[in-house]
Amino acid sequence: MTGLVQDKVAIVTGGAKGLGHGISRCLAQAGANLLITGRDGSAAEAVAAEITKTSGVRAVGMSADMGVKSEVEAMIDRAVSEFGGLDILVNNASQLSPNILLEQKTDDMLQRTLEIGTWGSWWAMRAAFPHMKARGGGSIVNFYSIDAQTGAWLHADYNMNKGAILGLTRSAAVEWGRFNIRTNAIAPTGMGQVFSELAENVPGFLEMATASNPLKRAGDPEKDIGPVVLFLASEMSRFVNGELINVDGGQHLPGYVSVPHNLAEMEAQT
């Protein structure tokens, strides 16, 4: 994969932790210069320093809350000022609210989830557009979810957000294709930040979570998820636009059981 995005400029939001960290490392190993962002600016800077040291590309970390328009626009400006342009935008950052029933979700929970996911992707894409157009094209990779595909319990606001992002992805693919800007989405499952914490702290969780996966394992952020993002970011996918790719070992086929074990207790609190 070395050289597939050599000297390209990429932004990875939420790129210091979980899936984003693996994606950042994969793109760097393929030659991309990176702006890595996250609400934890110190973590983003530390990962950027590590990637610069180990991969030979330039990587910069900065704090950016995807739910704040001015910070999203500053993120795009920083990438252009640091590297001279922008070729790849990976909208990985997301927000999960508390795991409660749909009727218990609050407007504030939905608003924050939409701000970081839907609005953050919207703002980033629109700010990136003129710079990609000036470069003669670019690649945007957005994130969908198996949760939205299956209507996962306790994630109503998150599922709604992901559905909006998929709609935005397809609209951009249709409208911006004339500028050679390709917009695609992936629906990954893997050892993200929350999944890794559960696997480490809850005995038997990993085995239970992967039992129905056709490949019988969890996806590795750098080795399993990152290469698909790299494919979409590179010229290998130059005729792929408006696509949704499930990167989950086939988990979307059987789906998964998300009904909470304590449903009666949760209903009693409504």
Q: Summarize pLDDT for 131-144 with one digit per residue, the tens.
A: 999 999 999 999 99
Catalytic residue among 144, 158, 176, 256, which? 158
Please, are residues 232 and 171 in contact by the beta-carbon 8 Å criterion?
A: no
Domain annotation covers residue 3: no
Residue 62 φ then ψ, to 5°: -155, 155
Domain residues for 222?
A: 9-268
Q: Summarize pLDDT for 49-100 with one digit per residue, the tens.
A: 999 999 999 999 999 999 999 999 999 999 999 999 999 999 999 999 999 9
Number of domains making up the chain: 1
Residue 183 φ then ψ, to 5°: -130, 120
Domain annotation covers residue 71: yes
Q: In this structure, what CATH number is given to the domain that contains residue 145?
A: 3.40.50.720
256 assigned to active site: no
pLDDT at position 1 is 65
Domain annotation covers residue 1: no
In a 10 Å sphere around its CB, with 0-12 CB exposed, 13-18 middle and 19+ buried, how is residue 52 labelled?
middle
Domain annotation covers residue 168: yes
Residues of the chain with pLDDT under 70: 1
